[in-house]
Structure 1
Amino acid sequence: MRGGAKVRKSSKSSPVRCAAVADGELPILINVDNNTQMAKPRTANLPDLSGLREPPSEFMRDIQRVLLRRGDHDLPSLSIAEQVAARLAGMIALDRLKPGQRILEEEICAVLGVSRAPVREALRMLERDRLLVVVPRKGAQVSDYSLQELHDIFEVRASLIATTYEGMVRAHPEEFADAIATGLAELETAAKSGSRDDYALASFRLTTRLRALCDNGLLFDMVQSLALQTLRYSRLGFGAARGIERSLRDWRAILRAARRRDAGKAAELVRRRIGGSRDAAMHALQAELAAREAAASENGTGDEER
């Protein structure tokens, strides 16, 4: 080096280098031990966010479509904030981030190698969709389940979906029936796996991919706005006894009505299916909340933070 300047070796405190990425693609940290990224120790209320670094999947793309109210052609133009929001939303929807757990900006920045500005924007998006709540002096937390919210979401969703599907059967009967048949095959495959997560994702995909057949974009956007919350609650119900079996039976009936081009019957069956999902989720949530209360009483924590 000129002037005798010395080259200093990088230390552990030096900024971590990121892999080269295309414009708009989320940079993922490389060659970094997960333990060095987390500034705070893992606790029940401070989750491990390393799952945010997992490669994008088809499920993640479905999450992006729902969260951002966009079609397939818009996905390549996602901002960093939108990608961060989609990754967090996916982890929340599948219960990898638990209700009440704190989501710290600095933790996300450390895991993904991004600045705070897009992270804050991502958290605002998730707060908008009621996946996160901001608690004074505690910051963002994963929103808790609520029996009232569950009831309200499924009541509204039943009306929206019934109207949407009825319109699809009238306007695009063959395409709608084919889409349901394809989705039903995926549901049956997922059911054989015995995983409620696999089944919940297949159901989620079936609903979101019908967007192309809906001539009323505003109506379907309203459906999409509830999709992630619905996924959280439906997943609970699919874990109940015969929850998946009942769901499959209802989807088969909807397909038969679509093949007959009976739009009114299809709408009626959709309401029945969503009502069944609501009841199963309600039963599962009541059991979970009761178990939490019993555990809190046994540990003497009550309503205090652990």
Structure 2
Amino acid sequence: MRAPTSRGDDDSERKFAARTIPDQVADELGAEIVAGRRKAGERLVELDLARDFGVSRGPIREAIRILERRRLVELLPRRGAYVRPLSLKSIADLFNVRMALSLLAVRAMATSPIESYVETLARRCAELDELVETGDPMAFARVTTRAVKTVARGSGNELLVELLTDLANQTVWTTIWKSPLDYQTPDLRRAAADLMVTTLEAIKRRDPIAAVASHGRLLEGDRDRALASLSQLRGEAFDLRAISQPDARPAPDDIVRVG
């Protein structure tokens, strides 16, 4: 894994990484698991999947290994591949861990800003502004993710960058954003873009408390709207308050009901 450099410019990342056939199959199959269209315990038969996707068994086998790394599939010796249980609570846990690491990063970046990363974050904010009216939800989500990555790199904490990268690449996180779960309207996109700008301004003036507050509001909103969308897709209800306050008694409006 490459350590962050002082350039602070993640424009060197390829906008569209080459996607192999196993990658594409893993993304589509993973999206079915996340949406609840494939249930926990369901066996994934290579021959059937090869027929359904119109490919040979080799890419299917590799796609299943990818999904195993993302903790969506369990491979059992001499028994095959099975869909692992995936609850909204476990997805919420992933959001919360990512948010905790990201807030640690933004606090560090605002304490000792590195100009090159500040400049990169400013470009990300400009991209978000352009996408408020014209962008689709997926494009906006991708740029938001890149902005959060910029903050992680701007923290100067290599371990934080590694942990956040691993969360993105080795968990269900890679899969849940294959469908538009958030930023469905210009108003939502405007609110998120403004929060990112507020975070940038707090970083520039070396105000870690304000940076954490605005960045936290952005990430909490992302989490709550994505989980609400997933609850609809999966037909499951969940308690919004329990996501971050497990011991709190939920108010009626904090329960997302389905059906």
For normalisation by structure 1, the TM-score amounts to 0.55
| Match 2:126 to one of 185, 190, 213 | 185
Name 1:134's counterpart in structure 2: 74
Flag the structure with larger Rg: 1
Deviations 1:149-179 (A, max 9, x none): 2321121111100111222333434223212
1:115-154 equivalence runs, <5 A: 116=58, 120=61, 123-130=64-71, 132-134=72-74, 139=81, 141=83, 146-154=87-95
C-alpha distance in 2 between matches for 1:95 and 1:238 = 21
Q: 1:171 to 1:111 in 2, by over 3 A?
A: farther
| Match 1:288 to one of 223, 233, 242 | 233
1:274-285 equivalence runs, <5 A: 274-285=219-230
- Letter aligned with residue 87 of structure 2: S
C-alpha distance in 1 between matches for 2:140 and 2:33 = 16
Runs (5+) with no aligned partner, structure 1: 1-56, 65-82, 293-306
| 1:216 to 2:157 alignment | yes
- Aligned-residue Cα RMSD (Å) equals 3.9
| Match 1:199 to one of 129, 140, 157 | 140
Does the aligned pair in 2 maintain the 1:237–1:278 contact within 8 Å? no
Question: SS at the partner of 1:215?
Answer: coil
C-alpha distance in 2 between matches for 1:250 and 1:182 = 15
Name 2:208's counterpart in structure 1: 263
Q: 1:202 to 1:250 in 2, by over 3 A?
A: same
Name 1:68's counterpart in structure 2: none
Name 1:248's counterpart in structure 2: 193
Q: 1:99 to 1:287 in 2, by over 3 A?
A: closer
- Letter aligned with residue 151 of structure 1: A
C-alpha distance in 2 between matches for 1:223 and 1:108 = 33
Deviations 1:188-217 (A, max 9, x none): 233323421111122223333556534322
Bigger mean CA deviation after superposition, 215-224 or 90-99:
90-99
Post-superposition offset of 1:59:
3.2
Post-superposition offset of 1:254:
0.6
Name 1:168's counterpart in structure 2: 109
Identity among equivalent pairs (%)? 24
Question: SS at the partner of 1:172?
Answer: coil
| 1:58 to 2:15 alignment | yes
Question: SS at the partner of 1:277?
Answer: helix
- Letter aligned with residue 243 of structure 1: L
Runs (5+) with no aligned partner, structure 2: 1-13, 238-259
| 1:237 to 2:182 alignment | yes
- Letter aligned with residue 236 of structure 1: L
Relative contact order: is structure 1 or structure 2 higher (C-alpha 8 Å, sep ≥ 6)?
2
Does the aligned pair in 1 maintain the 2:110–2:207 contact within 8 Å? yes
Question: SS at the partner of 2:139?
Answer: helix
- Letter aligned with residue 213 of structure 2: E
C-alpha distance in 2 between matches for 1:144 and 1:197 = 26
- Letter aligned with residue 128 of structure 2: L
Does the aligned pair in 1 maintain the 2:26–2:63 contact within 8 Å? no
For normalisation by structure 2, the TM-score amounts to 0.63
Deviations 1:18-53 (A, max 9, x none): xxxxxxxxxxxxxxxxxxxxxxxxxxxxxxxxxxxx
- Letter aligned with residue 99 of structure 2: A
